[in-house]
């Protein structure tokens, strides 16, 4: 029995500033407020929304961190075009904005991951030290206390460290957030848990042998697998309960 693709809603009650931030984010992304326009003054918004100015400021700060608005002392907050300046983190808000997982965005993420992570593994195989390798060995063979997903995240993390490239590391952190949000789509199938363990051992061998081409190939193979299986999951759920 396959349930429809659902969004796991954390039961945390939203903070007030988060609710307001979400409202404003929607208004901006949906185009209800246009690029270049100015937001009302903080005092005005606070009054209209019936909340304190500090709460509004908190929400605005969040939007600013997503590069959706620019706050300037003495001037106000102006809307920026999220397509031209939106930050990677913005995608995390967009992917479930309409109450379900946006398939286009998720597949787009997997597409970029498919390009980037094998290259990272290749660099890791070239640059890894013996200390790095020991860490990877522990993660692959002696981390039974971890769930398979957490072990997978750890393995990737160690590979990112091996690559000696800080950008790979933070981009992987970015991907891992999605993994924790939507990884159940993959790991709820026991066969994939087995696949994952086989992959860990294969990538370990390739990196141990300092074989970049092999490491890249192994990584690419598993990501191709994931991409295909996630796509199938979507197709299945569409066939069952999709809307016309």
Per partner kind, with CB cut-offs from 5 to 8 A, the member of its own copies, DNA, none near residue 149 is none
Per partner kind, with CB cut-offs from 5 to 8 A, the member of its own copies, DNA, none near residue 52 is DNA
**Residue 237 CB, nearest distance to its own copies (Å)?**
21
Q: Alpha-carbon dihedral of residues 117, 181, 229, 244, nearest 10 degrees? A: -130
DSSP symbols for 77-107: EEE--HHHH--HHHHHHHTTTTSS--HHHHH
Residue with tokens 């890249």: 216
Cα gap 61→53, rounded to integer Å? 12
Nearest to its own copies of 104, 145 (CB atom): 104
**Residue 38 CB, nearest distance to its own copies (Å)?**
20
105, 95 in Cβ contact below 8 A? Answer: yes
Number of residues that bind DNA (CB under 7 A): 28
**From candidates 10, 74, 99, 239, binder to DNA by CB under 7 A:** 74
- 10 φ, ψ to 5°? -60, 145
Residue 39 binds to DNA (criterion: CB under 7 A): yes
| x-marked contacts with its own copies along 159-178 as a string, rule CB under 8 A | --x--xxxxxxxx-xx----
Interactions with its own copies, residue window 79-138 (CB under 8 A): 83-91, 94, 104-105, 108-109, 111-112, 115-116, 119, 123
Residue 146 binds to its own copies (criterion: CB under 8 A): no
Q: Which two tokens stand for residue 159?
A: 């590979």
77, 92 in Cβ contact below 8 A? Answer: no
Residue 129 binds to DNA (criterion: CB under 7 A): no
Nearest to DNA of 68, 222 (CB atom): 68
65, 89 in Cβ contact below 8 A? Answer: yes
Cα gap 15→138, rounded to integer Å? 40
Piece in contact with DNA (CB under 7 A), picked from 52-60, 94-102, 133-141, 235-243:
52-60
Sheet strands (E) in the chain: 69-72, 76-79
- Note the residues at the interface with its own copies (CB under 8 A): 54, 58, 61-62, 65, 67, 83-91, 94, 104-105, 108-109, 111-112, 115-116, 119, 123, 157, 161, 164-171, 173-174
């Amino acid at each position: 029995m396959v349930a429809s693709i659902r969004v796991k809603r954390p039961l945390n009650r939203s903070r007030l500033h988060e609710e307001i931030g979400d409202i404003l984010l929607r208004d901006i992304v949906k185009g209800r407020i246009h690029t270049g326009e100015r937001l009302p003054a903080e005092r005005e918004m606070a009054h209209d929304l019936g909340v304190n100015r500090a709460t509004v400021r908190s929400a605005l700060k969040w939007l600013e961190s997503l590069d959706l608005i620019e706050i300037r002392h003495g001037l106000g907050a102006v809307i920026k075009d999220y397509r031209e300046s939106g930050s990677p983190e913005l995608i995390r808000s967009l992917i479930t904005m309409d109450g379900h997982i946006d398939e286009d965005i998720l597949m787009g993420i997997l597409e970029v991951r498919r390009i980037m992570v094998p290259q990272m593994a290749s660099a890791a195989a070239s640059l890894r030290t013996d200390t790095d390798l020991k860490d990877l060995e522990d993660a692959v063979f002696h981390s039974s206390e971890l769930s398979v997903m957490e072990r997978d995240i750890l393995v990737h993390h160690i590979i990112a460290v091996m690559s000696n490239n800080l950008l790979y590391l933070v981009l992987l952190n970015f991907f891992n957030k999605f993994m924790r949000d939507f990884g159940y789509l993959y790991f709820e199938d026991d066969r994939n848990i087995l696949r994952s363990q086989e992959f860990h051992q294969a990538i370990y061998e390739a990196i141990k042998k300092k074989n970049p081409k092999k490491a890249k190939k192994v990584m690419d193979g598993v990501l191709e697998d994931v991409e295909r299986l996630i796509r199938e999951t979507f197709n299945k759920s569409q066939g069952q309960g999709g809307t016309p």
